[in-house]
A and B are shown apart, each in its own frame.
Chain A
Amino acid sequence: MPTIKINAEKCKGCSLCLKACPKQCISFSQQFNKAGYRWATLEKEDACIGCGFCYLVCPDVCIEVYK
């Protein structure tokens, strides 16, 4: 099952990955990270197809894609 791993501390909550995800499976955390951002998390784990679009658009290079 494909999945992604998002580095919560590096994420600045820009939401570009949320928009890029064709399956709308990323959403924001309820908590804040040390820098004060709600970070992106993979909410619908089963829906991820490992397409890598989130990785492509992430300006903070904080997403890893596994397949």
Chain B
Amino acid sequence: MQRQPLLLIFFTSYSFFHLKKDFMQKILSKPEALKDATLSYCPGCGHGIIHRLVAECIDELDLREKTIAVAPVGCAVFAYDYFNFDVTEAPHGRPPAVATGIKRTNPDKFVFTYQGDGDISAIGMAETIHAANRGENISIIFVNNANYGMTGGQMAPTTLIGQVTETTPFGRDPKRDGYPIHLCELLATLEGTTYLERVSIYNPQNIIKAKKAIKKAFQCQLDGKGFSLVEVISNCPVDWGMTPLDSIKWTEETFIKTFPLGLVKDKSEA
């Protein structure tokens, strides 16, 4: 009997909370195109934000039921556990080829790949360039976090000069390791590409811009205008050896100096 008042307080506050919530409108929450799963990414990792932006765009364009996505090899290989639509795995670097096979045989479906820097611009560079050059009517979300995240932070093609990684313990030396690859600029030289933009997610303003770019890339495909790619400059706090806050600071102050944000190519209005 002694416990009753406590329980009463609990139920009262619980129902009050719900009453309050019912009264108000939920204005922002998990998009339908994301499953209700706990993401396996490290604390502060940009993948979760980018997943959400992709899912929001899918919802807003009403694409969920006609989407077939291609997951990479890398941290986002588990995308099929998080995206609430059809997803296939692909061998490392091959998503653009896999997406080509899907889209060519299913032109009425919405097809995008989600790839990291190693996947898209090292092992998969040939597949990337040739899918772009053929002007495949697909969209690519390219997450650039300047290292190989899943394998523990080795040098990627996009690793900055001087950046310390697992395999550049003395910093990336261009004499030994070459230079950071600017994929958007490289692809811009190809006639087959339609829309290329580099965005970032280190603060709310840029997250809003990133979403706009992703939506535009998706619309580009829906309008049958051809190859679109959005490069998202993201953060990898754990493999960079930083706190999440330091990682977004480094993104803003250092990372985007090498990879300037903005539109690289847009033929979609032409």
Contacts and interface: CB of A to CB of B under 8 A. Distances in A.
B245 A52 contact: no
B244 A14 contact: yes
Nearest to B46: A59
Most chain B beta-carbon neighbours within 10 Å: one of A35, A58, A60, A67: A60
Interface in B153-195: none
Chain A binding surface SS class: loop
Contacts of B203: 20, 57
Interface string B192-215: 000000000101100110000000
A65 B204 contact: no
Range for the number of chain B residues in contact with chain A: 20 to 34
B244 A60 contact: no
B47 interface: yes
B254 to A, nearest CB: 18
Interface residues of A, number: 30
B244 A65 contact: no
A57 B34 CA distance: 16
Contacts of B34: 61
Interface string B243-254: 111001000000
Interface in A1-18: 1-3, 5, 9-10, 12-16
Contacts of B207: 56-57
Contacts of A16: 44, 244-245, 248
Given A14-B244, A59-B39, A66 B25 contact: yes
